[in-house]
């Protein structure tokens, strides 16, 4: 099914996908043991993930960041302005976190609206997407395989966020994860349509900013 160039040892593949999927929640767990103020945990995890992804992209260049379409680039510019407005409103409103039930501090809002979407899209529509693309080279319906595989792992990641505060996981955690699979499909659609990473990043940022408005 796969040629030799695209073969992966199953165990190696599972390790890479597992580390990638739960990178942000795992770093948040580690940061919580060393950082005194919780708002810094999300920032630290997102920044570390982004640093690793930038290094990975610099070494391998597996996926495009910017869309070749001027229309999509214009969308990103306008979306960036809207995102800044949403960020300022959300910081002022101090929305309540869905998982912990506590009001978010300004640094947490900045992470949820800006840094976390960029980090998550870099992982799921970037690195993991490119890995599935290599695996799907000779698979019929490979684009669906890539879209669904990355979206399912995106939903699983959010179970990791819940596990930071609850164990065993409540039913809300599984419902949230399912909704994130649907969100991942949406972000993946923009990834496929725009042939870039910046567009799903911007859609993700705008979605998170809008969601915080009602929390």
Q: What is the mean pLDDT of the chain?
A: 87
Higher pLDDT, 20 or 79: 79
Model pLDDT for residues 102-116, shown as the tens digit of each residue:
888 898 999 999 999
Which of 21-25, 38-42, 175-179: highest mean pLDDT?
A: 175-179
pLDDT at 157 over 90: yes
Higher pLDDT, 39 or 30: 30
Q: How many percent of the chain have pLDDT more than 90?
A: 52
For residue 59, the enclosing domain spans 4-213
Higher pLDDT, 137 or 68: 68
Q: What is the count of structural domains for the chain?
A: 1
pLDDT at 7 over 60: no
Would you state the pLDDT for residue 37? Answer: 57
User: In this structure, what token pair is assigned to residue 165?
Assistant: 């505060």
Mapped onto helix, strand or coil, the DSSP state of residue 64 is coil
Q: How far apart are CA 160 and CA 2, in angstroms?
A: 31
* DSSP type of residue 30: H
Model pLDDT for residues 173-206, shown as the tens digit of each residue:
999 999 999 999 999 999 999 999 999 999 999 9
- Tell me if the pTM is above 0.85: yes
């Amino acid at each position: 099914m796969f040629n030799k160039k695209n073969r992966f040892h199953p165990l190696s593949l599972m390790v890479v996908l597992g580390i990638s999927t739960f990178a942000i929640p795992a770093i948040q767990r580690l940061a919580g043991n060393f950082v005194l103020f919780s708002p810094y945990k999300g920032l630290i995890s997102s920044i570390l993930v982004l640093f690793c992804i930038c290094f990975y992209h610099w070494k391998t260049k597996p996926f495009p960041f910017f869309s070749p379409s001027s229309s999509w680039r214009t969308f990103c510019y306008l979306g960036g302005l809207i995102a800044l407005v949403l960020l300022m409103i959300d910081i002022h409103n101090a929305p309540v976190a869905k998982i912990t039930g506590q009001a978010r501090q300004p640094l947490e809002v900045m992470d949820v609206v800006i840094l976390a979407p960029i980090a998550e899209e870099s992982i799921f529509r970037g690195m993991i997407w490119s890995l599935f693309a290599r695996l799907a080279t000779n698979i019929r319906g490979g684009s669906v395989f890539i879209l669904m595989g990355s979206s399912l792992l995106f939903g699983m990641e959010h179970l990791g966020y819940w596990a930071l505060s609850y164990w065993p996981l409540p039913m809300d955690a599984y419902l949230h994860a399912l909704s994130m699979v649907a969100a991942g499909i949406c972000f993946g659609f923009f990834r496929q349509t725009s042939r870039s990473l910046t567009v799903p990043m911007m859609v993700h940022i705008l979605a998170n900013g809008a969601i915080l408005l009602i929390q």
